[in-house]
Structure 1
Amino acid sequence: MKEVIEEDEVDEARKSRRKTSSIRSPSTSESIAAPAMLSSAASAAAAERKKELRRLVKKISEEDDDQTVTYDKAAAALSALRDLKVGPKERKKGDRIHPLAIPEHFLCPISGEIMRDPVVLASGQTCDRAFIQERLNSGNRTCPKTQEVLTNTILIPNHLVQSMISEWCKENGVNLSPLGNQDEGLVTKNERDTFDELLGKISSPSPAIERRQAIRELRLLTKRNRSFRAVIGEKPNAIPQLLSVLSIPSLTEDPQVQEDTVTTILNLSIHDNNKKIIGDSPQVIPFLIDSLKSGTMETRSNSAAALFSLSAFDSNKVKICQMGAMKPLVDLLEHGSPTAKKDAATAIFNLCMAHVNKATAVRDGAVVVALKAIADRSLVDESLTILAFLSSDQDAAEKISENDGVACLLSIIRDNPNSRNKENAAVVLYSICMYDRSILKEVREEEDSKGTISWLAQNGTSRARRKAAGILERLKQTMSSTYHSY
């Protein structure tokens, strides 16, 4: 995207000179011509200072000897250039200057912003360390300014430019905020501008087709560029702008717009710092829940994935469940596509990590649907994980035993080759054995005929062995109690 730079405001006094008589005195004529002469001289002097400064910076980057004298000369050249550009040091400390007055060599050619940690590349150009390192890590070994292939990837600290930047920031009251989490991607000025432009199209009264295209493009950018996901933390109004399409009936009823909006929220939620921001937006969770109920299968799947991502933030877990997400998630677990079922299962499991949500999951049918999925062998791993987590709740344990869950669990322990599935089945079976003595008869019959629990106590994972041993102990206690009752 082409970067637009605003021009300095023109001094209106120069445009509206007071009309005088047609005969001017020599002194008046000279006073009018003087500014133009000084401007021309200043430009020539500034060009000369820039040339000198470039020579000194190159000398510093190429030589290893003591650079003290050269540093002093460069600092003096920079000071003189500054005085020519923005005037002598008459500005009060803390005063800000117009962005256009930022010296060009303070700006990173990648980010377009003032460098925090300037380093010199093999090409002799200076970049901000974090941005050039990210570029190199991605496999791009070209200089961002000259486009030549770098002969090596050594980054040499540019102490001169660093000290110049520090001095300039101090004098002009510029406070450089630290870069965000570099693992999530570094945001450049162009990316910020693109993000703003797309949000502007989405939220402005532009034609519906332009809004659709902007939402689609934002979806793709937040998918491909991890740094795009970090922009939202700098723009608190981004989510309301994105969801402004919900106020346009022609767009709200468009299945593709709904899918693109849901997926954009999903992409943005991957960034850890965004989970609270998105979850706190009053429109987001209700929108995702509505999309779970009425969207295309792809939209429903991505809505479930977005709720799973947001539920990683603890306060969102309770909020999502209170707003009614559990029932449509259970419905998707039962009737969705294979991918949608997995997304629903992971969301349900994550939500149930908040203890208060377990009762809601049981009430909304999660236990019954999970048992059905296990019996159908359609989603065994995820369903067993949900049951293992819910089975500590007494209502859940009762639901499992009421719906022929014991036979299903025993068949998993006996026949399923996955040791993790055997472990989770043992966890669930142990819980319901503690709550319901009546199922022990069925367990004993399995043990007497096939030795299933004894085998697990010897061959399962460490957790499975503990649970199997607990079940055997429970069986032993029951036998002893029955014997002494005669």
Structure 2
Amino acid sequence: MILSWRRRRSSNNKSSEPALNDSSLDTDVMIPTHFRCPISLDLLKDPVTLSTGITYDRESIERWIESGNQTCPVTNQVLNSFDQIPNHALRKMIQDWCVKNRSYGIERIPTPRVPVSPYEVSGICSRIEVATRCGDDRKCVELVRKIEAWGKESERNKRCVVNNGTGCVLSNTFLSFASVSIEKHVGLLVEILSVLAWMFPLGEEGQSKLGSTASLSCIVWVLKNGDLSARQKAVSVLKELLSLNQRLVDKLAEIEGISEALVKIIREPICPKATKASLTAIFYMISPSQTSVRFTSRFVELGLVSLITEILVDAEKGTCERALGVLSGICDTKEGREEASKNALTMPILVKKMLRISGMATEFAVCTLWKLCKNSKKEEDGDGGVLVEALQSGAFQKLLVLLQVGCSEATKEKVTELLKLLNLQRNRSNCVDASMDFKYLKRPF
């Protein structure tokens, strides 16, 4: 096999070099067969040898094993061990060959970092447990930063760290130091949050410790008082916790300032990731429960409805889905619907986003519209203001199109009910041109 290094390099400089002719193929560099991975047939970048004696590129053989295979791809022998021993001698030979052929545009492969092993992870976890019992926060910071550095090196390292119980150990350390003094140990606590953000799910014991009142109070404290980076880490962890256990909402209700902290992240954006995490946390907090009504009322008081409508004007897909979900949840309450109805942007935004984002966004938009229109008469909207506004925003035509393109059964029921409500109001007003209603609809026969 021949890898056209010279030809590839030339194609990247078309403006300065003439196109290669057939004679240039003679200068292509042939990669020695033993420098190739038997799986990918590419140049080995991180050669490792299995128990069968065959060498592969680490990334390729890891994918092979993670797919459920238990044999050596070349010999087809069952692997007695999945250990991958770095072949330093071969890697050095490949690097020397790359340097020798650099005039042909071949770049020297970097020396790979040795991935972390389960033994190393278990060792550092034991040291963290000892430092926690001794109350040595400096040693804990040093060890947590070591774990964070491992995670930044590769996804493989992250998997190894997560799969060896690190999340539970760090959750216990977080709870221990948060129970003593948040202000005194805030540096360590933020470092732990930074690592825990990519360790979910933590396991039952880890989630229990991180979901304790003391731990949640610490997370809320960081949300209110931390710097931008710390607040981003805290809201990411809170979002993951709530996604796994919504019963934590009852505990959060007893912690002062959580609603204000989450709304502040939306009002004063840190980054898109933090905004989405905050919206997701709010969504779980206002999901139907006895406590959710209190949270919804507080979010309405803090002006969340107007913030969401502003976000929806030009937000990207993920943020739009979450914002529409929160708006739908807010409209479960009377005061939420009143606030949404008063906002001039609500109806045009719902209609505009109905078919433009995703199936999930469409369901949330229809559900919110349905809640506003269905309850308009019950809440003494005698002049049909909500329905008239929906008609003026083009909701009738948009809903008809939605029936044509298809949607879930639950959404279809809401669409049908909305069309009946809007049609009654439409017959009483001249706000909709009836001749345009079915212009773009296909006949069903």
Normalised to the residue count of structure 1, the TM-score between the two structures is: 0.54
Tell me how far apart the structure 2 counterparts of residues 220 and 246 of structure 1 sit (CA, whole Å).
26
The alignment status of 1:230 with 2:176, answered yes or no, reads no
What's the CA shift for 1:476?
Answer: 3.2
What's the CA shift for 1:442?
Answer: 1.4
The alignment status of 1:393 with 2:333, answered yes or no, reads yes
Alignment of 1:324-473 (within 5 A): 324=256, 325-336=258-269, 337-359=271-293, 360-365=295-300, 366-377=304-315, 379-404=319-344, 405-413=346-354, 416=356, 418-436=358-376, 437-447=384-394, 451-462=397-408, 463-473=410-420
Alignment of 1:123-272 (within 5 A): 137=65, 154=78, 191-202=121-132, 204=134, 206=136, 209-220=138-149, 224=158, 225-227=160-162, 230-231=165-166, 238-241=173-176, 243=178, 246=181, 249=184, 251-252=185-186, 254=187, 257-272=188-203
What's the CA shift for 1:199?
Answer: 3.3
Tell me how far apart the structure 1 counterparts of residues 79 and 219 of structure 2 sit (CA, whole Å).
46
3-state SS of 2:202 partner: coil
Please identify which structure carries the higher helix content.
Answer: 1
Q: Aligned in 2, Cα 1:470/1:262: closer, same or farther, shift over 3 Å?
A: same
Tell me how far apart the structure 2 counterparts of residues 375 and 205 of structure 1 sit (CA, whole Å).
50
Q: Which has the larger radius of gyration?
A: 1
Q: Aligned in 2, Cα 1:136/1:321: closer, same or farther, shift over 3 Å?
A: farther
What's the CA shift for 1:141?
Answer: 11
Look up the match of 2:208: 277
Instruction: Note if contact 1:292-1:300 (Cα within 8 Å) is conserved in structure 2.
Output: yes
Residue among 293, 304, 322 paired with 2:254:
322
Paired letter, 1:330:
V
Instruction: Note if contact 2:279-2:322 (Cα within 8 Å) is conserved in structure 1.
Output: yes
Extract unaligned runs of 5+ from structure 2: 1-49, 53-61, 82-116, 152-156, 377-383, 430-445
Look up the match of 2:240: 309
CA offset digits 1:350-376 (Å, max 9, x no partner): 233342343213422433322221135
Instruction: Note if contact 1:122-1:152 (Cα within 8 Å) is conserved in structure 2.
Output: no
Q: Aligned in 2, Cα 1:140/1:213: closer, same or farther, shift over 3 Å?
A: farther
What's the CA shift for 1:220?
Answer: 4.5
Instruction: Note if contact 1:412-1:422 (Cα within 8 Å) is conserved in structure 2.
Output: yes
Tell me how far apart the structure 2 counterparts of residues 475 and 141 of structure 1 sit (CA, whole Å).
59
Tell me how far apart the structure 2 counterparts of residues 367 and 247 of structure 1 sit (CA, whole Å).
33
Alignment of 1:55-74 (within 5 A): none
Tell me how far apart the structure 1 counterparts of residues 150 and 177 of structure 2 sit (CA, whole Å).
14
3-state SS of 1:314 partner: coil
Aligned pairs, number: 314
Instruction: Note if contact 1:334-1:341 (Cα within 8 Å) is conserved in structure 2.
Output: no
Tell me the C-alpha RMSD between the 2 structures.
4.2
Look up the match of 1:38: none
Look up the match of 2:103: none
3-state SS of 1:322 partner: coil
Q: Aligned in 2, Cα 1:396/1:445: closer, same or farther, shift over 3 Å?
A: same
Normalised to the residue count of structure 2, the TM-score between the two structures is: 0.58
CA offset digits 1:109-135 (Å, max 9, x no partner): xxxxxxxxxxxx977xxxxxxxxxx99
The alignment status of 1:289 with 2:230, answered yes or no, reads no
Tell me how far apart the structure 1 counterparts of residues 199 and 209 of structure 2 sit (CA, whole Å).
8
What's the CA shift for 1:289?
Answer: 0.6
Paired letter, 1:439:
V
Tell me how far apart the structure 1 counterparts of residues 205 and 164 of structure 2 sit (CA, whole Å).
8
What's the CA shift for 1:150?
Answer: 10
